[in-house]
A and B are shown apart, each in its own frame.
Chain A
């Protein structure tokens, strides 16, 4: 890895003049890309692929299953079994590339669209589905799964991720044998405007916390294009905070993996926070309650579908002789079976008994909560 890379990439650092007085945008925003949309390899001055074709074939499998999970999620909402779903269609390579780079002690502080990453980290699909059926709020142990709870107030969790990284840093200072885990904080292009998110960058930089920010720029915050949030490319925002950053092709699983590996290594080696902008596109709606035809063109969406992360990976694997029709047929079958598993998993989610909510508010229920729970039980008994 190019150790000269400090703030941003050498090729597009703002020059002293006239950048001293005004931000200067590079003519072309450099994008780390290793695999072109047509499935051919390309090279990058700073990043090289480190994965074998066999590993990439596994990643194609993961992306395919994640896509299936997402498709089933949307279908379950249409059938009324979920009250809402936040589709991730088109963003599979980011979640799979990230997962392949994560260390076994790293923690993830997600936004609300990382269903695939959650699944790959071992969270049973019904735990996520339970949030979208309206039965659960986060029925898992984040210490164990290392995928932290979903926060719906945009950007609020980014500070939690930085604080967690500061704690990881202190654990290691106190005990050299402490685990080498770092924190990955994921947020979207809309969240970059929130005060909390900007404060998260400040704290991460001030304490040189072992944190990685992954900004999933899918171009749209509900109906607002990313230009409403920022007039400079998002990865350049990090410069002002003193955080090295890079923009990667979010639909290129090799590039995402390589950049994520760089950032995680930096954090693990005590070199402080990094920022990765994964440049992608929200092919689906913001959520199933949203109607994108109100604010963007079909042509735009179609243009992005050409850049599909799965098809380019498959094309490359075939050109390497590492993928064939039989493997594809087998994967299709596996995805079918997995789809059925997701559909049945939603039926395994149970609604908690109402009185359970009184036990979740404090370590010990207050006298008021005990009284309210008793009142509810009396009312139930009277029915």
Chain B
């Protein structure tokens, strides 16, 4: 076994990439509960196209780490059946753009069976997949699809932004009694970070203040947390003290943590890769104006992808929110 078990017995931290931390988290979940299964295309001998499940089939066998036929609807649908009989399938879909052949099974079946059965059927299914852009991919490999699922009652939607969250959130997601859409920021797979091995710092559905500040709150998740932290560091040089909140869980939303931050700073910008219109930023902006109208010094702004399909990769750096666009929005907000 790799990293974690080769660590000294008393070791309480280690440094891993996000991909390796997710791998370690799934290994721990497989070891802890024989009902946990990993299920997906190319996850066995190849270890997934991003190697997130590397070595796990060898360690836990083909009965627990299953290479599936190339059919997303089939994957989700059969995972539902397995979950009805007490298994905890962790389904990997290969890319964000390949979720849609399984869309009915996710939004109309997985999301609704608890409600349909009047609360009797429990589906502890995790559907995990890499999302977002920034790695120079071809079409259908860079989509930010969180709004579809956060909009669907019955699903929970979470996304880690760093290796420690990756390690803990995947284990917490697998332990959740409801379906979890687990979004992995693929452009951050290879970024390293310290992983606490003794206990998680947060619950699965808690937001986290990842940088305290007083002037303005940047609200972000997944791939944009690093971008926002970089923007906050740059703004500091201009004498601005920005707070960064990592939302971590889009459904359910820990609005209390976000509200506490904005009550304190009075200004907020939501930053996401997804297209703007009807996107997740609209929900956050609406909630902030509904609940904190008298606190706000300026309108909630959104920095997002444009309202076009994801562009060819040579244009993606201009399409994705970057440090300059975040800082321009900060200027705009502070000018009120």
Binding site for B on A (CB under 8 A): 83-84, 131-137, 152-156, 190-191, 193-196, 221-224, 228-229, 289-291, 294-295, 351-352, 354, 357-358, 360-361, 366, 368-369, 372, 376, 379
When distances are taken between beta carbons in the complex, the residues of chain A under 8 Å from B71 are 193-195
Q: Are B70 and A152 in contact (CB under 8 A)?
A: no
A156 to B73, CA, bound (A): 13
Contact B98 A229 (CB under 8 A): no
Residue interface bits B48-80, CB-to-A below 8 A is 1, else 0: 010000000000000000011111111000000
On whether the beta carbons of A135 and B312 are closer than 8 Å, the reply is yes
Which of A84, A193, A294, A358 is in CB contact (< 8 Å) with B308?
A358
Q: Please tell me if the beta carbons of A222 and B314 are within 8 angstroms of each other in the complex.
A: no
B315 engages A223 (CB within 8 Å): no
**Chain A contacts for B328, CB-based, 8 A:** 379
Residues in B whose Cβ lies below 8 Å from that of A155: 101
Chain A, residue nearest B48 (CB) = A223
By beta carbon, the residue of chain B nearest A292 is: B46
Contact of A222 among B41, B97, B140 (CB under 8 A): B41
Determine whether the beta carbon of A134 is less than 8 Å from that of B136. yes
* A357 adjacent to B42 (CB under 8 Å): no
> Shortest distance in angstroms between B157's beta carbon and chain A's nearest beta carbon?
22
Chain A residues near B289 (CB-CB < 8 A): none
Return the chain B residue nearest A230 by Cβ: B69
Chain B residues with CB below 8 A from A193, complex form: 69-71, 74
Q: Is the CB of A357 within 8 A of B67?
A: no
What residues of chain A lie closer than 8 Å to B31, measured between beta carbons?
none
Tell me the total A-B contact number using a CB cutoff of 8 A: 109
CB B42 to nearest CB in A, in angstroms, measures 5
| A-B contacts, 13 listed (Cβ < 8 Å) | A83-B138, A84-B138, A132-B138, A134-B138, A190-B70, A195-B101, A223-B46, A228-B69, A290-B49, A291-B46, A295-B46, A357-B308, A368-B277
Are B140 and A152 within 8 A (Cβ)?
yes
Contact A357 B101 (CB under 8 A): no
Do B138 and A152 touch (CB < 8 A)?
Answer: yes
Taking CB atoms, residues of chain A closer than 8 Å to B138 are: 83-84, 131-132, 134, 152
A368 contacts B47, CB within 8 Å?
Answer: no
Size range of the chain B interface in the assembly: 35 or more
Please tell me if the beta carbons of A196 and B46 are within 8 angstroms of each other in the complex. no
How far does the Cβ of B103 sit from chain A's closest Cβ, in whole Å? 11
Which residues does chain B contribute within 8 Å of A223, judged by CB atoms? 42, 44-46, 67
Contact B306 A83 (CB under 8 A): no
Given contacts A354-B318, A369-B307, whether A153 and B97 have CB atoms under 8 Å apart is: yes
Chain A residues with CB under 8 Å of B318's CB are 354, 376
Closest to A154 in B: B70
State the CA gap A134–B308 with chains docked (Å): 16
* Those of B283-332 within 8 Å (CB) of chain A: 306-309, 311-316, 318-319, 328
Q: How far is the CA of A215 from the CA of B70 in the complex (A)?
A: 15
Q: Does B100 belong to the interface (CB within 8 Å)?
A: yes
Given A83-B136, A194-B70, A357-B311: A224 in contact with B100 (beta carbons within 8 A): no
Asked if A154 meets B98 with Cβ closer than 8 Å, knowing A193-B74, A222-B46, A223-B44, the reply is yes
List A contacts of B45 (CB < 8 A).
223, 294-295
Contacting B70 at CB < 8 Å: which of A83, A191, A357, A376? A191
Residue of A137, A228, A289 near B49 (CB, 8 A) is A289
Cβ-based interface call for B236 (8 A): no
Q: Mark B122-139, 1 if CB is under 8 A from A, else 0.
A: 000000000000001111
Chain A proximity mask over B241-278: 1 for CB below 8 Å, otherwise 0: 00000000000000000000000000000000000010
Closest-CB distance, B105 to chain A (whole angstroms): 10
Q: How far is the CB of B245 from chain A (nearest CB, A)?
A: 26
Contact A196 B315 (CB under 8 A): no
Residues of A within 8 A of B101 (CB): 153, 155-156, 194-196
**Interface pair A229/B307, CB less than 8 Å apart:** no
Is B88 interfacial (CB 8 A cutoff)?
A: no
Question: Which of B72, B73, B308 gathers the greatest number of chain A CB atoms within 10 Å?
Answer: B308
Q: Are A372 and B49 in contact (CB under 8 A)?
A: no
Shortest 7 CB-CB contacts between residues of A and residues of B: A134-B313, A223-B46, A193-B69, A190-B70, A193-B71, A295-B45, A134-B314
What residues on B are CB-neighbors of A224 within 8 Å? 41-42, 67, 69-70
Shortest A160–chain B CB gap in Å is 15
Contact B314 A229 (CB under 8 A): no
In the complex, which residues of chain B have a beta carbon less than 8 angstroms from the beta carbon of A228? 67-69
Instruction: Determine the chain A residues whose CB is within 8 A of the CB of B97 once the complex forms.
Output: 152-153
Docked Cα-Cα span, A134 to B319, in Å, equals: 14
**Extra inter-chain contacts (7) besides given A190-B70, A294-B47, CB under 8 Å:** A191-B70, A196-B101, A221-B41, A223-B67, A357-B315, A360-B308, A361-B308
**Cα-based distance from A195 to B71 in the complex (angstroms):** 7
